[in-house]
C-alpha cells in the first residue's frame, strides 16, 4: 500500500510521469481499432433486442422441476399462434423463461393456463410480460431524445464551467464510451432490454464524472499558463493527468465494486433480468469511461487547445526558452501563485505533436541541468527524478 | 489557503445541525405508517399496464392534451372502481407521445386488463327515474336548501341566451329570455326524486344561499370509488347495468343499485341501444335511463364560458351536427312536456352520468347552452366531457407486465443482497486504502444510506413514490458515486500534504478544491438523472429518480458530514502525529520528510 502511496506521490510531483498526451496517437489507434470492431459488430451482427423492443410475450415460470422440453411442449400444446417459435430457456435458479411472438391478452391467458396445468405451478405465480410491437420503437425514440437533450445540456454546462474545447473533448470521450458499450453488446450478442438502456444512459453520468475530475485539475494547472514560458498546455495537462491518476483509479474501482456486486448477484441469483442487464451495461461503460477520461478526453482537449494562437505562441516560447538553454529549472517557480503544482514539467518534450516515443528517453536533469531537447524534438518523456532515474513505464 | 472564515465555520455546529436533521427524519420515517419504503410492483407482485393513445386518423393524427386528460380521467375511474388498494394511474409525456401507466398490485384477472383499454362513449339519454345514490341512507340532503330561493344545483340547458341564473338546470333554446324559476330546486324532500347535485352539496357546502357558492352543476364533482352488484348482470359483471326492455327486472336493478358500493361508479362501455341503470359520476344520484337519444359523436363542439346573458356565472355552450340537431330538437321537445325528473336528460360518459340537466322546451337549431351554478372548473370539465367524450382516444396496450409475488420477493432479495455486497466491498476497499480516513468515508456512506432510506419511506408515504427494482439498482450504483466524492476529497487532502501543508491546512485547502470538483461532477450526474426522468418511461424513471435523489444526498453528506468531520479529526493528535493508520501519514504518501518545508513548491524540485 505504501508503495502505491509512493507511486502516487511521485506521480503527483512529476517524478514519475506517464506521457498520456504525447502518445495520444497510440491511444487513438487502440480506441480506433476497438471502435471499428464495435461498428462492425453493430452493423454486421446487429443488436440482440429483447422483447421490449421487438414486441413479444414473455412468461417466467418460477422454481420448477420441469424441464425446458416440458415447458416447450406445454407452450405448443396451448396452440397459440407462433407457439412453435417460442424460445424457452432456463434462467437463474430453476426458473424457465419462455418468449413468444406478440400475443393478445386472451392468448397469453391461454398459455398461462396451459403452463400452469402442465408444470404444476399456480397461475398467479407465472410472470407475464406482453409488449406491443410499436412500444419498442417508442422507448428507443425516447432514449435517443433523452440522449440528445442530455448531450446539449452537458455541452452547455461544460462550456460554461470549463470552456467549449474541453466540452467537446468530454463529449468525444462520452460518445467513445457509448459506442464501445453498444459495440460490445453487438459483438457478444448480450440481450438489449430497457434495463440495458438505463445502464447505457447512466454511463453518461459516470463517464463524465471521471472526465470532470480530470479536467478540473487540468484547468487548475493551466490557469495563467499563457503568461509564462515554462510549459506548454499539453505538458501541463499531462501533469494533471498524472496527478489525478490515482484518484481516477480509485473512483473507478469504487464505482465498479457495487456494479460488480449487482452483476454477480443478478447473474448468480436471478439468472436474468433487470439487475443483470443494468449492471452489465454499467460495468462495460464505466470501464470504458475510466479509460477514455485518461486516454481520450485529455489528449483530445490538448489537441484542440494547441490550435489556439496563444497556445501556439506559448509552445514557441517554451521551445525557445529551452533551446536558449535557459532551462534553469528554478524549483521555485510557483507560476500560478496559487500554491498548487502549477504544471511544470521540467524537461519536456518540446512539442505536443511529438509523436510516439522511441523509448522514453531518459534525461539527466540534475540540479540545474537544463534538459533541453534541442535537436531531437521528440521524446515525450518521463520526467526525471532528481536522481535522474527515470521510471520507465 | 483556507480562508479564515472557512476554518471558523464551526464544524461542530454543522454536525449538530445534521444530527438534528437526522433525528427529525428518523422520527418522520418511523412515526408514520408504513415505515418501510413503498415497493414497486416488480418487487411485490402486481400488474403494470402501459397504454398509449392512438390518434384517430380522422382527427388529423394528433392527440390533444385535453383529450388525453379526459381519457386518463376515464381510465382512472375504471381503475378506482376495481377497488384494489393502491392502484394507480399516472401519465407521462403529452399528446401522441403520452403513456398512461396503470399499476395494479396483486394478481389481476384478464377482464380487468381488457376493460382498461376499451374506448369510452358519450351519449344523451332521457331520464326515466332518478333517486338518491345511497340506497339505504336517508338523504339528509337539504333541510336548509329549501329555504333559499334558488340554491339548487341542478343545471339547466337552454339555448344560448338564458337569462336568469336558474339555479336549477334547465334546457332552453338559444333565444329564450325566460327567467327560469327553479321548479326542480324544491329539493328539500327525501326520497327518490331528489335533483342530483343538491344532495352532495347541501350537506357539504353552506347551503345558505349565495347562489354562487355551493351548487355544482355537474353532479360529477367528486369522483369517489365504488362498485356495484346487481341482479341484472352487466357486461362482464361490471356496471353499467343494461337491459333491452324497461321491464320489472330493470326496475328492480334500479331499486337495488347502491352507488356507495365499490365499483358502482367505475363506469364501462354502455350500449346506446339499451336501457341503462347507473350512477352519477360522484355516486350521489342513481338513474334509470332510456336508450340513447343522441350519440356523443353528433356533438361538434362544446365550450365553457362566462354567461353572455349578463347574469354572470359560467355556462357550457354546445353545438350539434345537423343530424344531432334534429335528434336533439326531437328529444328536448318530448322532454319539455314531462314532469320532473323525466324532463331531464343524462349526459352519459362511459356508462356514468356526468350531468342531468332538465329541459324547458324544444331546442332547435343545434345550439344549446347548459346553465347552472357552475364554477369555472366545473364548466370546463363538462365542456371537455362533451367535446372529447365523443372523440375518445383509442388506446393501445403497449406493454403488460405481470410479476408474481414470488418473483417480486426474489427480486427484492436479490436487490438487497447486491446492495449489501456492494456496500461491503466498497467499505473494505476504502478502509484498506484510506485507513482511518476510510472510516470517515464509511461513516459518511452510512449517513447517506440512512438519509436515503428515510427519504424513500417518506416520499413513498407522501408522494406515492414506489421503489422498483431499477430504483434499487440505482441506489446501489449510487454507493459508488457517493464514495467517489470522498475519494476526490481525500485525494485532494493528500495532494495538499504533498505540497507540504500541515495536516490541518491540508484538510481545509483540499476541501476548497475538492468542493468545486464534487459539485461539478455531481451536477453532471444529476443532470443525467433529470433528463432521464423526464424523457423516459416505466422502470427507467424509477432508476433516474433514485439516482437523482442519491446524488443530492451525496452532496449534502459531503458538505454537512464528511467535511466537518474531517475538519474536526485533523485537529486530533492521532492524525497530526502522522500515525501510520491515519491514512494521511506523510510516509505513506511517499513524502520525503526532509522535503516538507516549503509550501508552495513542488516537492520534487526541492531537494
pLDDT tens profile B92-105: 776 666 788 888 87
pLDDT in tens, A68-105: 788 888 888 887 777 777 888 877 667 788 888 877 77
Q: Do A265 and B414 touch (CB under 8 A)?
A: yes
What pLDDT does residue B177 have? Answer: 36
Residue A363 pLDDT grade (very low, low, confident, very high; cuts 50, 70, 90): very low
Which of B340, B369, B394 represents a domain boundary (last residue)?
B394
Q: Cell 336568469 maps to which residue? A: B164
Q: Does A266 touch chain B (CB under 8 A)?
A: yes
Q: Does residue B229 sit in the same domain as residue B328?
A: yes
Rounded CA-CA distance B346/B349 in Å is: 9
What pLDDT does residue B594 have? Answer: 44
| CATH of residue B256 | 3.30.1360.200
Residue B598 pLDDT grade (very low, low, confident, very high; cuts 50, 70, 90): very low
Q: Which of B483, B524, B536 sits opposite A254 (nearest CB)?
A: B483
Mean pLDDT of A25-54: 87
Q: Does residue B331 sit in the same domain as residue B464?
A: no
Q: At a CB cut-off of 8 Å and minimum separation 6, what does B45 contact?
A: B105, B106, B107, B403, B404, B405, B406, B407, B408, B409
Residue of B nearest to A128 (CA): B402
Q: Does the residue B461 lie in any domain?
A: yes
What pLDDT does residue B81 have? Answer: 66
Say whether pLDDT at B211 is over 70: no
Residue of A nearest to B481 (CA): A255
Cβ atoms < 10 Å from Cβ of B32: 12
Whether the CB-CB separation of B288 and B128 falls below 8 Å is answered with: yes
Q: Does the residue B49 lie in any domain?
A: no
What pLDDT does residue A32 have? Answer: 92
Q: Does residue B437 sit in the same domain as residue B382?
A: no
Three-state secondary structure readout of A121-188: CCHHHCEEEEECCCHHHHHHHHHHHHHHHHHHHHHHHHHHHCCHHHHHHHHHHHHHHHHHHHHHHHHH
pLDDT in tens, B158-198: 554 333 333 344 444 444 333 333 333 333 333 333 233 22
Q: Which of B310, B307, B271, B305 is nearest to B291 (CA)?
A: B271
pLDDT in tens, A121-132: 777 778 788 887
ω into residue B34 within 30 of 0, thus cis? yes
pLDDT in tens, A187-228: 888 888 877 877 787 777 777 878 888 888 888 888 888 887
Q: Does the residue B90 lie in any domain?
A: no
Domains of chain A: 2-49+136-309 (1.20.1640.10), 56-131 (3.30.70.3220)
Rounded CA-CA distance B47/A66 in Å is: 25
Q: What's the structural domain count of chain B? A: 2
Q: At a CB cut-off of 8 Å and minimum separation 6, what does B220 contact?
A: B280, B281, B282, B352, B353, B354, B355, B381
Interhelix angle B65-82/B376-388, nearest 10 degrees: 90
Q: Does residue B440 sit in the same domain as residue B501?
A: yes
For residue A337, what are the CA distances in angstroms to A11, A341, B41, B310, B515? 21, 9, 58, 78, 20
pLDDT in tens, B3-31: 444 444 677 888 888 889 988 888 888 88
State whether the Cα torsion A98-A101-A107-A108 is positive or negative: positive
* Grid cell in block for residue A317: 516560447
Rounded CA-CA distance B470/A347 in Å is: 51
pLDDT in tens, B384-419: 777 766 555 677 777 787 777 777 888 888 888 888
Which of B362, B394, B426 represents a domain boundary (last residue)?
B394
Rounded CA-CA distance B419/A135 in Å is: 31
Q: Does residue B193 sit in the same domain as residue B290?
A: yes
Residue B54 pLDDT grade (very low, low, confident, very high; cuts 50, 70, 90): confident
Q: Spell out which residues of chain B touch residue A251, defining contact as CB-CB under 8 Å.
A: 484, 487-488
Q: Does the residue B60 lie in any domain?
A: no
What's B286's DSSP letter?
E
Q: Does residue B409 sit in the same domain as residue B513?
A: yes
Q: Does residue B449 sit in the same domain as residue B573?
A: yes
Rounded CA-CA distance A247/B495 in Å is: 10
Q: Spell out which residues of chain A touch residue B417, defining contact as CB-CB under 8 Å.
A: 265, 269
Distance from CA of B289 to the nearest CA of A (A): 33
pLDDT in tens, B507-553: 888 898 889 888 988 888 888 888 878 777 666 777 888 888 999 99
Q: Do A153 and B527 touch (CB under 8 A)?
A: yes
* Grid cell in block for residue B114: 381488457
For residue B120, what are the CA distances in angstroms to B74, B271, B383? 7, 11, 16
Q: Does residue B385 sit in the same domain as residue B423?
A: no
**Residue B123 parent element (H or E):** strand B122-132
**Would strands B358-359 and B99-105 be described as parallel, antiparallel, or unpaired?**
unpaired
Q: Which of A218, A262, A273, A277 is nearest to A244 (CA)?
A: A218
Q: Does residue B355 sit in the same domain as residue B449?
A: no
Say whether pLDDT at A290 is over 60: yes
| A254 φψ region: left (φ > 0), alpha (ψ -120 to 50), beta (else) | alpha
Residue of A nearest to B402 (CA): A128
Say whether pLDDT at A356 is over 50: no
**Through-space distance between the first and last CA atoms of chain B, rounded to whole angstroms:** 24
Whether the CB-CB separation of A192 and A136 falls below 8 Å is answered with: no
Q: What is the mean pLDDT of chain B?
A: 71
Rounded CA-CA distance B52/B176 in Å is: 44
Which of B394, B419, B440 represents a domain boundary (last residue)?
B394
Q: Does residue B275 sit in the same domain as residue B384?
A: yes
Q: Which of B604, B97, B403 is nearest to A145 (CA)?
A: B97
What pLDDT does residue B451 have? Answer: 92
Q: Which residues pair with B51 in a beta bridge?
A: B100, B397
Q: Cell 439498482 maps to which residue? A: B473
- ipTM beyond cut 0.90: no
| CATH of residue B441 | 1.20.1640.10
What pLDDT does residue B265 have? Answer: 67
Say whether pLDDT at B203 is over 70: no
Q: Does the residue B148 lie in any domain?
A: no
Q: Which of A220, A393, A281 is nearest to B510 (CA)?
A: A220
Q: Does A254 touch chain B (CB under 8 A)?
A: yes
Q: Does the residue B326 lie in any domain?
A: yes
Q: Do B114 and A105 touch (CB under 8 A)?
A: yes
Q: Does the residue B102 lie in any domain?
A: no
Rounded CA-CA distance B329/B367 in Å is: 10
The separation between CA B224 and the C-alpha centre of its own chain, rounded to angstroms, equals 15
ω into residue B341 within 30 of 0, thus cis? yes
**Domain ranges, residue B432:** 4-39+404-606
For residue A368, what are the CA distances in angstroms to A326, A327, A340, A347, A371? 10, 8, 22, 11, 9
Q: Does the residue B86 lie in any domain?
A: no
pLDDT in tens, B412-435: 888 888 889 999 999 999 888 888
* Grid cell in block for residue B276: 341503462
pLDDT in tens, B70-90: 777 777 776 776 666 677 787
Q: Do A269 and B433 touch (CB under 8 A)?
A: no
Distance from CA of B199 to the nearest CA of A (A): 41
Q: Does residue B299 sit in the same domain as residue B199?
A: yes
Whether the CB-CB separation of B311 and B212 falls below 8 Å is answered with: no
Three-state DSSP state, A294 = helix
pTM here is: 0.64
Q: Which of B481, B422, B416, B417 is nearest to B448 (CA)?
A: B481
Q: Spell out which residues of chain A touch residue B483, defining contact as CB-CB under 8 Å.
A: 254-255
Q: Spell out which residues of chain A touch residue B499, defining contact as CB-CB under 8 Å.
A: 339-341
Rounded CA-CA distance B9/B11 in Å is: 6
Q: Does residue B332 sit in the same domain as residue B293?
A: yes
Rounded CA-CA distance B496/B83 in Å is: 63
Amino acid at each position: 500500500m505504501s508503495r502505491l502511496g509512493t507511486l502516487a506521490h511521485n506521480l503527483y510531483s512529476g517524478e514519475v510521469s506517464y506521457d498520456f498526451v504525447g502518445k495520444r496517437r497510440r491511444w487513438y489507434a487502440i480506441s480506433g481499432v476497438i471502435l471499428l470492431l464495435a461498428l462492425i459488430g453493430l452493423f454486421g451482427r446487429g443488436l440482440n433486442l429483447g422483447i421490449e423492443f421487438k414486441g413479444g410475450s414473455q412468461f417466467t415460470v418460477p422454481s420448477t422441476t420441469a424441464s425446458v422440453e416440458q415447458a416447450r411442449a406445454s407452450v405448443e400444446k396451448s396452440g397459440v399462434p407462433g407457439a412453435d417459435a417460442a424460445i424457452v430457456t432456463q434462467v437463474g435458479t430453476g426458473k424457465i423463461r419462455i418468449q413468444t411472438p406478440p400475443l393478445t391478452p386472451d392468448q397469453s391467458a391461454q398459455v398461462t393456463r396451459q403452463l400452469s396445468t402442465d408444470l404444476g405451478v399456480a397461475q398467479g405465480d407465472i410472470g407475464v410480460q406482453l409488449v406491443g410491437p410499436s412500444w419498442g420503437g417508442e422507448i428507443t425514440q425516447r432514449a435517443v431524445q433523452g440522449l440528445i437533450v442530455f448531450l446539449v445540456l452537458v455541452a452547455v454546462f461544460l462550456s460554461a464551467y470549463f470552456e467549449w474545447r474541453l466540452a467537446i473533448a468530454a463529449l468525444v470521450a462520452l460518445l467513445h464510451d457509448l459506442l464501445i458499450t453498444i459495440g460490445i453488446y453487438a459483438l457478444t450478442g448480450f440481450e438489449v432490454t430497457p434495463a440495458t438502456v438505463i445502464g447505457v444512459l447512466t454511463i453518461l453520468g459516470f463517464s463524465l464524472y471521471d472526465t470532470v475530475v480530470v479536467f478540473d485539475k487540468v484547468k487548475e494547472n493551466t490557469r495563467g499558463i499563457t503568461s509564462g514560458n515554462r510549459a506548454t498546455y499539453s505538458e501541463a495537462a499531462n501533469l494533471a493527468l498524472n496527478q489525478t491518476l490515482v484518484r481516477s483509479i480509485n473512483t473507478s474501482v469504487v464505482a465498479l465494486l457495487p456494479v460488480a456486486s449487482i452483476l454477480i448477484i443478478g447473474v448468480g441469483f436471478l439468472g436474468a433480468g433487470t439487475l443483470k442487464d443494468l449492471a452489465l451495461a454499467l460495468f462495460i461503460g464505466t470501464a470504458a469511461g475510466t479509460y477514455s477520461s485518461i486516454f481520450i478526453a485529455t489528449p483530445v482537449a490538448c489537441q484542440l487547445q494547441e490550435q489556439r494562437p496563444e497556445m501556439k505562441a506559448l509552445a514557441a516560447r517554451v521551445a525557445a526558452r529551452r533551446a536558449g538553454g535557459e532551462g534553469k529549472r528554478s524549483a521555485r517557480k510557483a507560476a500560478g501563485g496559487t500554491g498548487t503544482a502549477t504544471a511544470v514539467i521540467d524537461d519536456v518534450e518540446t512539442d505536443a505533436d511529438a509523436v510516439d516515443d522511441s523509448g522514453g528517453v531518459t534525461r539527466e536533469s540534475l540540479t540545474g541541468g537544463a534538459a533541453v531537447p534541442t535537436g531531437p524534438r521528440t521524446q515525450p518523456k518521463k520526467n526525471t527524478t532528481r536522481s535522474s532515474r527515470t521510471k520507465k513505464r | 489557503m483556507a480562508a479564515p472564515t472557512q476554518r471558523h465555520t464551526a464544524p461542530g455546529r454543522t454536525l449538530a445541525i445534521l444530527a438534528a436533521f437526522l433525528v427529525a427524519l428518523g422520527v418522520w420515517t418511523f412515526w408514520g405508517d408504513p415505515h418501510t419504503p413503498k415497493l414497486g410492483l416488480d418487487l411485490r407482485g402486481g400488474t403494470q399496464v402501459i397504454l398509449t393513445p392512438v390518434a384517430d386518423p380522422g382527427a388529423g393524427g394528433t392527440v390533444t392534451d385535453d383529450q388525453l386528460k379526459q381519457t386518463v380521467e376515464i381510465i382512472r375511474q375504471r381503475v378506482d372502481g376495481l377497488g384494489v388498494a393502491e392502484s394507480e394511474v399516472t401519465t407521462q409525456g403529452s399528446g401522441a407521445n403520452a403513456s398512461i401507466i396503470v399499476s395494479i398490485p396483486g394478481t389481476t384477472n384478464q377482464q380487468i386488463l381488457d376493460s382498461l383499454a376499451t374506448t369510452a362513449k358519450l351519449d344523451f339519454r332521457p331520464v326515466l327515474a332518478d333517486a338518491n345514490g345511497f340506497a339505504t341512507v336517508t338523504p339528509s340532503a337539504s333541510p336548509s336548501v329549501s329555504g333559499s330561493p334558488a340554491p339548487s344545483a341542478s343545471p339547466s340547458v337552454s339555448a344560448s341566451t338564458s337569462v336568469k341564473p336558474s339555479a336549477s338546470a334547465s334546457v332552453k333554446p338559444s333565444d329564450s329570455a325566460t327567467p327560469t324559476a327553479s321548479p326542480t330546486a324544491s329539493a328539500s324532500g327525501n326520497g327518490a326524486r331528489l335533483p342530483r347535485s343538491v344532495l352532495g352539496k347541501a350537506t357539504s357546502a353552506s347551503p345558505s344561499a349565495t347562489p354562487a357558492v355551493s351548487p355544482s352543476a355537474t353532479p360529477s364533482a367528486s369522483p369517489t370509488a365504488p362498485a356495484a352488484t346487481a341482479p341484472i348482470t352487466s357486461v362482464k359483471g361490471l356496471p353499467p347495468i343494461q337491459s333491452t326492455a324497461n321491464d320489472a327486472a330493470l326496475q328492480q336493478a334500479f331499486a337495488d343499485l347502491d352507488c356507495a358500493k365499490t365499483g358502482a361508479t367505475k363506469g364501462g362501455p354502455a350500449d346506446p341501444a339499451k336501457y341503462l341503470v347507473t350512477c352519477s359520476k360522484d355516486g350521489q344520484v342513481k338513474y334509470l335511463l332510456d336508450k340513447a337519444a343522441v350519440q356523443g359523436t353528433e356533438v361538434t363542439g362544446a365550450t365553457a364560458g362566462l354567461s353572455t346573458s349578463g347574469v354572470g356565472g359560467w355556462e357550457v355552450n354546445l353545438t350539434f351536427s345537423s343530424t344531432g340537431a334534429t335528434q336533439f330538437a326531437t328529444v328536448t321537445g318530448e322532454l319539455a312536456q314531462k314532469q320532473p325528473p323525466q324532463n331531464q336528460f343524462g349526459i352519459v360518459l362511459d356508462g356514468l352520468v356526468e350531468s342531468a340537466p332538465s329541459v324547458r322546451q324544444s331546442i332547435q337549431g343545434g345550439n344549446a347552452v347548459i346553465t347552472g351554478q357552475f364554477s369555472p372548473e366545473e364548466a370546463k370539465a363538462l365542456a371537455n366531457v362533451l367535446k372529447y367524450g365523443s372523440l375518445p382516444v383509442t388506446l393501445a396496450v403497449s406493454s403488460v407486465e405481470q410479476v408474481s409475488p414470488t418473483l417480486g420477493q426474489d427480486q427484492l432479495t436479490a436487490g438487497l443482497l447486491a446492495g449489501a455486497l456492494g456496500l461491503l466491498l466498497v467499505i473494505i476497499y476504502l478502509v484498506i486504502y484510506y485507513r482511518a480516513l476510510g472510516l470517515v468515508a464509511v461513516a459518511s456512506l452510512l449517513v447517506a444510506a440512512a438519509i436515503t432510506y428515510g427519504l424513500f419511506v417518506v416520499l413513498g408515504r407522501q408522494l406515492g413514490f414506489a421503489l422498483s427494482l431499477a430504483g434499487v439498482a440505482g441506489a446501489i450504483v449510487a454507493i459508488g458515486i457517493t464514495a467517489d466524492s470522498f475519494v476526490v476529497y481525500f485525494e485532494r487532502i493528500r495532494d495538499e500534504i504533498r505540497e507540504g501543508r500541515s495536516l490541518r491546512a491540508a484538510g481545509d485547502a483540499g476541501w476548497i478544491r475538492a468542493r468545486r470538483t464534487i459539485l461539478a461532477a455531481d451536477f453532471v450526474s444529476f443532470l443525467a438523472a433529470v433528463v432521464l426522468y423526464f424523457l423516459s418511461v416505466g422502470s427507467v424513471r424509477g432508476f433516474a429518480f433514485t439516482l437523482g435523489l442519491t446524488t443530492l444526498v451525496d452532496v449534502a453528506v459531503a458538505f454537512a458530514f464528511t467535511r466537518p468531520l474531517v475538519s474536526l479529526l485533523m485537529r486530533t493528535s492521532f492524525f497530526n502525529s502522522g500515525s501510520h493508520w491515519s491514512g494521511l501519514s506523510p510516509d505513506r504518501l511517499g513524502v520525503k520528510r526532509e522535503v516538507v518545508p516549503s509550501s508552495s513548491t513542488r516537492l520534487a524540485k526541492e531537494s
